[in-house]
Structure 1
Amino acid sequence: MLRLWLRHESRPTERRAALTPEDARKLIERGVHVTVEESPQRVFPIDGYAGAGCVIAPQGSWARRCPSTAYVLGLKELPDEPAALVHRHVFFGHAYKGQPGAPRLLRRFEAGGGTLFDLEELLDAEGRRMAAFGYWAGYAGAALAVLRYRGVITAPLVSCSRAELHGRLARGRHTGDVTAVVIGADGRSGHGACDALTAAGIEPTRWGCEDTRDLDRNALLRHDILVNTIGSRRPVAPFLTMADLDSERRLSVIADVTCDVGSELNALPVYDHATDWINPVERLRGSPHPVDVIAIDNLPSLVPAEASRSFSADLWPLLLSLGDGSEVWDRCLGAFRRAVALLGERD
């Protein structure tokens, strides 16, 4: 029998869930045993999971109580303890692109004999994500960029519904005086970003792969807002440099949805650390021509219910094949094993 253990998210601002109560019920009806930890911040109340037939466990108890035969399911980073990870974990590990902290995470798995099934590697045969938060990351990132441009962003950020966020964008609709460019507009994140900008009355310039191969940096700088949603699996030439920020420009707000800061894949090396819910905006250049960056690595949690429902709908059918030798999960396992092997080569 397949056993899943949905853990509490240790990050205080993470309100999403990898699995909704409705989709947990679908798994249970197909013979899956689902345990769900209590969580004071999860957008879905624990009663919904109990009503769906899930077993309820105390918050953060997976390390002590989760059987070795189960898969621990989550979204964002694990707590620092235990130091040695013995379980099979399914979450966004962000461990294969040279991100800060990646070697330590992989060594924790190596020390305990556990396994990471990184949701970033949940890909089809053509390399496309099979379950992703991309649309909502793009929507939230562009929305925050617009609110910053208007000077009405609030900190700390507070999660809301899409209807509430849409309403905030629509109440200050622009009439053609504001320009925005979305890099990666053809992807899921790009579609979300374009929808948010349109809701704000801004018709975005949409750049796809062809536009970024020979990027017109001067054209980029003539926009008020830049939203970067492109995710590359290999290094690319920077879209912007610090020297560009000191040149003549109109650009004043950057939303880096991709948020590959600290990685060699970072296409916007104009900032050196992510922003967060407490301090969502970092000023890169001051008066007389200020420019700000927003680079939050859990943007979809701004609209946690909608984002979770969309992601869970994609994920739950795939979970049914965990442990069955399916190609999609084998690709995840292969990526993990290659990453661990590279650790040994660096020693």
Structure 2
Amino acid sequence: MRDALCLWMRHETRPNEQRAALAPEDARRLVERGVLLTVEESAQRVFPVHQYAAAGCEIVPRGSWVSHCPAETYVLGLKELPDEPALLRHRHIFFGHAYKGQAGARPLLRRFEAGGGVLLDLESLVDVDGHRLAAFGHGAGYAGAALAVLHRRGLLTSPLASASRNALDATLRLAPAGESLTAVVIGAYGRGGRGACDALRTAGVEASRWNSTETRTLDRDALLAHDILVNAIGTDHPVAPFLTRADLDDPRRRLSVIGDVTCDVGSDLNALPVYDRPTDWEHPVERLRRRPRPLDVIAIDNLPSLLPAESSRAFSADLWPLLLTLREGSPVWERCLHAFRRAVGSLDGG
């Protein structure tokens, strides 16, 4: 077993992050194929740790990757790393959000550069055409559109809490008598957009589906005539803003809720530069305008964790076969490595 692939799934430090990169059933599939899989204890993870133990994983205390994880092991997670250690020496697999100029990107890359470690960013896990191979897009779109509808109906309460898909669907179906809401989904044919359209359909809300054709020559009057905007666009290059601050003051504006699933705030890729910080589970809604009618934005960067079990299982099903190729010089992981090296190489003394 000396040459076995070694993976270490860490505890997520974000308080409301209940998802897991690997579901127990897929952990078992990896173990059965000779992978040495270590799983940290985590009271908040949606899957109890005993299910991983039953799958043949070694169970260790939370956070122990810092001091006990061997250098040749891949550390697997989803969201951000803790602030310590300052020097990152391991090979990490998670959503680093470090290549689009996001807040905190440069310090994170500096930590890898200083420690000699590597980030295999799950955002860069793509095929030769740039399509994501493992993503939470559908869950993010579904949850983002669902929150927008519930807020528009006055049914959204805070702080938010995770739920099952069945429970969320039951709430979405509680449409007021005589309601006539319309929504526009931008990026409607990607993973996130399809998820958003599924949620709107469940809620009984009519959805306009826009993609690159509609946004290339965007009809802002048509956009502002909808009640809800869900932004689920995926892009690796800057695009013209879908909304500007001046649009928010348009007296003809019917739009009252923005659900920004993409949530690229702070990045040059942000297509909705009308707000300057994401929202969160404690305060999911930010009021942007009171006149000519209220306009609110919901921009939460871990939306799929609102449906932690379903979204984790869907993501894990995509990821586990790819993990098996980590030591084979797979082009998929080579692209991740190339993206990391390019990002580190672009760092300057600032």
Q: TM-score, normalised by structure 1?
A: 0.98
Aligned to 2:262: 258
CA distance in 2: counterparts of 1:136 and 1:17, whole angstroms? 14
Aligned to 1:281: 285
- Indicate yes or no: 2:324 matched with 1:341: no
Aligned to 1:313: 317
- Indicate yes or no: 2:74 matched with 1:71: yes
CA distance in 2: counterparts of 1:96 and 1:274, whole angstroms? 18
Aligned to 2:131: 128
- Indicate yes or no: 2:242 matched with 1:239: yes
Partner SS, residue 117 of structure 1 = strand
Tell me if the contact between 2:249 and 2:291 (Cα under 8 Å) persists in the aligned partners. no
- Indicate yes or no: 2:195 matched with 1:192: yes
Tell me if the contact between 1:37 and 1:59 (Cα under 8 Å) persists in the aligned partners. yes
Of the candidates 82, 90, 94, which is equivalent to residue 93 of structure 2?
Answer: 90
What count of residue pairs does the alignment treat as equivalent?
A: 346
Q: Counterpart of 2:210 in structure 1: which amino acid?
A: W
- Indicate yes or no: 2:183 matched with 1:144: no
- Indicate yes or no: 2:326 matched with 1:322: yes
Q: Measure how far apart 1:208 and its partner are.
A: 1.3
Q: Counterpart of 1:268 in structure 2: which amino acid?
A: L
CA distance in 2: counterparts of 1:169 and 1:197, whole angstroms? 8
CA distance in 1: counterparts of 2:79 and 2:150, whole angstroms? 26
- Indicate yes or no: 2:51 matched with 1:40: no
Partner SS, residue 98 of structure 2 = coil
CA distance in 2: counterparts of 1:110 and 1:225, whole angstroms? 43
Of the candidates 170, 174, 188, which is equivalent to residue 171 of structure 1?
Answer: 174
CA distance in 2: counterparts of 1:108 and 1:286, whole angstroms? 43
Partner SS, residue 185 of structure 2 = strand
Partner SS, residue 301 of structure 1 = helix
Structure 2: gaps of 5 or more residues: none
CA distance in 1: counterparts of 2:303 and 2:20, whole angstroms? 14
Tell me if the contact between 1:17 and 1:308 (Cα under 8 Å) persists in the aligned partners. yes
- Indicate yes or no: 2:218 matched with 1:209: no
Give the stretch that moved more between structures: 172-181 or 320-329. 172-181
CA distance in 2: counterparts of 1:82 and 1:63, whole angstroms? 7
Aligned to 1:52: 55
User: Structure 1's 173 and 90: CA in aligned 2 closer, same or farther, altered over 3 A?
Assistant: farther
Of the candidates 285, 301, 308, which is equivalent to residue 304 of structure 1?
Answer: 308
Structure 1: gaps of 5 or more residues: none
Percent identity of the aligned residues? 69
Tell me if the contact between 1:175 and 1:201 (Cα under 8 Å) persists in the aligned partners. no
Q: Counterpart of 1:166 in structure 2: which amino acid?
A: D
C-alpha RMSD over aligned residues: 1.0
Q: Counterpart of 1:165 in structure 2: which amino acid?
A: L
- Indicate yes or no: 2:27 matched with 1:24: yes
Please give the per-residue CA displacement for 1:261-317, whole angstroms capped at 9, x wherever unaligned. 000000000000000000000000114511000000000000000000000000000
Q: Which aligned segments of 4 or more residues in structure 1 are displaced greater than 6 angstroms?
A: none
